[in-house]
């Protein structure tokens, strides 16, 4: 027999959890299979208990996406029977025993951590690049002879617009060709587009290259969690995920601190030359340290090699996808849109996070002018105005990880857990956001000591993290096998909001002033405080009445 098949049957819950971490729906093959592989015709010989008939004859016939009715137990028998039949099929290609060196889970720890560190470094750099040149915005406006306040904000936030669309293409490409070719391609194109931004001779050219930087810069955000899940067992994954999450949390806040000093010393273009140099170094590190980690692609290559060596054209990978490339793109693009506009839960949670994310980029696009005009800070130190957001977000990350898990585990032990319990920890975040906005706005208006508004933005950063993280985990719990599409819908809406809403921020402050301008934002944020309360009380009922189907 050309291959040895081993392993224990994966539960539905394991497949869903790993797929969510990898950023795709659970009907796409992951390292341990796919839910769609369990689909059978109604005339098949699988066990058809009353519970299974209630569910239907496959995941695509679930009664409803939001009702969260399928339990692990309801398909456990089918999963076991399915896996047993596969294990006995000599044409199924799997790993050659539990120590197969081709399996990324069996790599040495130095090799694993080399991969994790390079992916974490890239994940830190690309969000950093989104805001590092913020202190140089006045210089760019002067050099390009522009006084348009809309463009002043858009050339910063257009990068986030790329985050909305790039990963929709990057994710399915990685599932077809593997993670490694996508990383390499995105690294090279990101460097090219960064050079394009550095040598731009006009505003239009600069904005186009910034957008393309954002599209390609979204690659480590879309693929990084999946890479870690490919090589680290679940019980040992916490530290690696924590290191990887530093990038999205601190990158946008550290960038302007570096950019402030660099702009003063070398000019705004050197922010992009620095990113080019560092990303080039990381790209070389990728080429040296990284290997393919995505099990379905590795096994597909193995099956292809064995077909050639043995002449047995019936050999197929155990994780071979039943989805065509066209279907993968439909899953990645069409399904999130249908979920965003067809699900009240997905829409309102996404709206809440979108408003919060837009506020973050309003602050990003205005901090430089605020601290230069109100506190006479020079371009060299104006980047330090971002420290409050960074510290607040970091504290929020630790609080969410600690108390969020405690709350959920308590309800699981009591036996009354439901997805809405994920939103309990979101409640304080809803109060911190408007408090921070009022604090920041009126302290700047009153010319108080510079530390006072920075402390206020610390509250904003804390509230931001306490909104994002519970929202994502809630969407995973509600939509289970289609969790990645729900999170993609959330990402698209919040990125669009972050790119477009800040365009009017300079005009808003000019008309209302910093006090009332930020108070307007605070009032809108305060009006959204009831959302987690409403979902805690009515979320389960909304899910049960839902008619959303794909």
- 261: burial class by Cβ within 10 Å (0-12, 13-18, 19+)? middle
Distance in angstroms (rounded) separating the CA atoms of residues 540 and 384: 44
Q: Are 296 and 319 in contact (CB under 8 A)?
A: yes
Domains of the chain: 12-89 (no CATH), 107-291 (1.20.1250.20), 334-550 (1.20.1250.20)
Bridge partners of residue 316, in order along the sequence: 92
Distances (CA, A) of 119 to 122, 127, 304, 372, 401: 5, 13, 29, 36, 22
Distance in angstroms (rounded) separating the CA atoms of residues 217 and 219: 5
Nearest one of 22, 24, 7 to 484, comparing CA atoms: 24
Q: Are 110 and 222 in contact (CB under 8 A)?
A: no
pLDDT at 435: 96
- SS3 assignment for 98-121: CCCCCCHHHCCHHHHHHHHHHHHH
Distance in angstroms (rounded) separating the CA atoms of residues 423 and 404: 9
Distances (CA, A) of 386 to 116, 251, 259, 440: 27, 11, 11, 12
Entry field: residues in the chain: 550
**Measured CA angle at 263 (ends 257, 266), to 5 deg:** 135
Establish how many alpha carbons lie within 13 A of residue 270's alpha carbon, considering only the half-sphere containing its beta carbon: 10
Nearest one of 152, 13, 55 to 476, comparing CA atoms: 13
pLDDT at 66: 62
Nearest one of 90, 371, 399, 390 to 250, comparing CA atoms: 390
Specify the 3-state DSSP secondary structure of 356: helix
pLDDT string in tens for the chain (550-residue length): 444 444 456 677 778 877 877 778 888 887 878 885 444 333 333 333 333 333 333 333 444 556 554 433 334 434 444 454 555 678 888 898 888 999 999 999 999 999 999 999 999 999 999 989 888 888 999 999 888 878 888 888 899 999 888 888 888 888 888 999 999 999 999 999 999 999 999 999 999 999 999 999 989 988 888 899 899 887 777 778 878 888 888 888 888 889 988 988 899 999 999 999 999 999 999 998 899 999 999 999 999 999 999 988 888 988 888 778 788 787 778 888 888 888 888 898 999 999 998 998 899 888 888 998 889 887 678 888 889 998 998 898 888 888 887 888 888 888 888 888 888 989 988 999 999 999 999 999 999 999 999 999 999 999 998 998 888 888 888 888 888 888 888 888 988 998 888 888 888 998 999 999 999 999 999 999 998 899 888 888 888 777 766 6
pLDDT at 159: 93
Distance in angstroms (rounded) separating the CA atoms of residues 29 and 37: 8
pTM for this structure? 0.83
């Amino acid at each position: 027999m050309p291959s040895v098949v081993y392993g224990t049957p994966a539960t539905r819950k394991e497949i869903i959890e790993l797929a969510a971490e990898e950023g795709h729906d659970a009907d796409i093959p992951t390292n341990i299979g796919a839910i769609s592989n369990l689909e059978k015709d109604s005339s098949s010989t699988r066990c058809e208990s009353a519970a299974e008939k209630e569910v239907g004859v496959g995941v695509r016939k679930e009664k409803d996406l939001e009702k969260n009715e399928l339990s692990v137990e309801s398909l456990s028998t089918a999963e076991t029977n399915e896996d047993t039949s596969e294990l006995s099929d000599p044409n199924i290609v799997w790993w050659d025993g539990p120590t197969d060196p081709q399996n990324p889970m069996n790599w040495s720890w130095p090799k694993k951590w080399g991969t994790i560190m390079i992916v974490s470094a890239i994940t830190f750099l690309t969000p950093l690049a989104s805001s590092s040149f913020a202190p140089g915005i006045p210089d760019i406006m002067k050099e390009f002879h522009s006084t348009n306040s809309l463009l002043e904000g858009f050339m910063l936030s257009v990068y986030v617009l790329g985050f909305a669309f790039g990963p929709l293409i990057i994710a399915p490409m990685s599932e077809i060709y593997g993670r490694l070719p996508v990383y390499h391609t995105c690294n090279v194109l990101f460097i090219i587009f960064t050079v394009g931004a550095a040598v731009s001779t006009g505003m239009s050219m600069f904005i186009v290259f910034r957008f393309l930087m954002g599209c390609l810069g979204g690659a480590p955000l879309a693929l990084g969690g999946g890479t870690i899940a490919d090589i680290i067992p679940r019980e040992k994954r916490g530290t690696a995920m924590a290191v990887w999450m530093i990038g999205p949390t601190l990158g946008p806040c550290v960038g302007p601190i570096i950019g402030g000093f660099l702009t003063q010393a070398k000019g705004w273009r050197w922010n992009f030359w620095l990113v080019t140099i560092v990303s080039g170094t990381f790209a070389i590190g990728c080429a040296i340290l990284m290997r393919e980690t995505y099990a379905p692609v590795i096994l597909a290559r193995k099956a292809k090699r064995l077909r050639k060596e043995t002449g047995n054209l019936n050999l197929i990978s155990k994780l071979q996808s039943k989805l065509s490339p066209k279907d993968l793109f439909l899953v990645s693009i069409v399904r999130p849109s249908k979920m965003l506009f067809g699900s009240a839960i997905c829409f309102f949670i996404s709206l809440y996070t979108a408003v919060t994310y837009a506020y973050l980029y309003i602050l990003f696009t205005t901090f430089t002018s605020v601290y230069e005009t109100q506190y006479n800070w020079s371009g060299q130190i104006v980047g330090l105005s971002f420290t409050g957001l960074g510290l607040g977000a970091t504290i929020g990350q630790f609080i969410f990880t600690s108390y969020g898990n405690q709350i959920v585990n308590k309800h699981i032990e009591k036996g009354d857990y439901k997805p809405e319990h994920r939103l309990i920890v979101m409640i304080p975040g809803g109060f911190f956001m408007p408090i921070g906005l009022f604090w920041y706005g009126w302290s700047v208006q009153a010319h108080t000591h510079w530390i006072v508004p920075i402390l206020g933005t610390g509250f904003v950063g804390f509230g931001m993290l306490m909104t994002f993280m519970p929202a994502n985990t809630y969407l995973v719990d509600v939509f289970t096998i289609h969790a990645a599409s729900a999170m993609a819908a959330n990402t698209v809406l919040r990125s669009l909001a972050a790119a477009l809403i800040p365009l009017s921020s300079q005009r808003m402050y000019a008309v209302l002033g910093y006090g009332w301008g930020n108070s307007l934002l605070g009032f809108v944020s305060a009006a959204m405080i009831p959302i987690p309360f409403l979902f805690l009380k009515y979320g389960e009922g909304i899910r049960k009445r839902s008619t959303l189907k794909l």
